[in-house]
Amino acid sequence: MNKAAAVIVAAGRGVRAGGTEPKQWQNLRGKPVLARTLAAFQSHPDIHQIVLVLHSDDMGRANPFLDSNTIAVTGGSDRSASVKNGLAAVTDAPLVLIHDVARPLVTHTLISRVIRALGQQTGAAPALAVTDALWTGSAGQVTGTMDRAGLFRAQTPQGFDLESIIAAHAAHPGGAADDVEVARAYGLDVAIVPGDEDNLKITHAEDFARADQILRGRDGH
């Protein structure tokens, strides 16, 4: 198995999640969201380095959760700039997985799935096929429908050949929704691997309750 690094993007402020502090520092079953996300990668046998990208106001706050293979760097003015800072700090790993800190329920199975796919591709990312009907709308009214065939809900971690994704970010003007968009704009192929419904992204306050319920199921109580 190829060695891989992980860049965990945690520099945002997460205001839509509510609370008195950014969502990555809020409690999820006794631990900060950030600590749970880090632990998933720190305990994976194929992740040899983790770069945690933090807001400048938070540098030092993550120290209790770092280990010998985890470093923290300061983020940039937006997500793309933060990813670039994280990629620049990766050493001695040909592959990199880029993950949102707000997905603390990521499993070893999903991480391994992405890494395995990178054995054949320059990029690989998990996604779930859209199964619900899709509408367009305006002013509270349905204005039309959309064909859901071939549509997917993107997740992270999104994995890449390190040199290729660094070059892709260097060439991109910014404003991408995620790193797959950056990679494809540069001409890189990205394979879709099966995602995980439990790999939710904490965005709104109610997402904490759903994440707590999933963790209770894993813990058995």
Condensed to tens digits (0 to 9), the pLDDT of residues 44-53 reads 999 999 999 9
pLDDT for 14: 62
What is the mean predicted confidence (pLDDT) over 174-191? Answer: 96
Cβ-proximal residues to 182 (8 Å cutoff; 6+ apart), any chain: 80, 165, 168, 169, 172, 176
Q: Quick one: pLDDT at residue 136?
A: 97
Give yes or no for residue 16 having a pLDDT over 90: no
pLDDT bracket for residue 219 (50, 70, 90): confident
Mean local confidence (pLDDT), 111-115: 98
85 phi/psi in degrees, rounded to 5: -60, -40
DSSP per residue over 123-189, as a string? EEEEEEE--S-EEEEETTEEEEEE--TT-EEE-S-EEEEHHHHHHHHHH--S--SSHHHHHHHTT--
Q: What is the pLDDT of residue 207?
A: 96
Reported residue count of the chain is 221
| Model confidence at 17: pLDDT above 70 | no
Average pLDDT value for residue range 32-36: 97
The pLDDT value recorded for residue 34 is 98
Task: Please tell me the class of the 4-219 domain.
Answer: alpha beta
**The overall pTM is greater than 0.85:** yes
CA distance 134 to 157: 26
Stretch 110-139: mean pLDDT: 97
Q: What is the mean pLDDT of the chain?
A: 95
Least confident segment among 8-17, 65-74, 115-124: 8-17
CA distances from 8 to 100, 151, 159, 220 (A): 6, 26, 12, 28
Q: Going by C-beta distance under 8 Å and a sequence separation of 6 or more, which residues neighbour residue 181? A: none
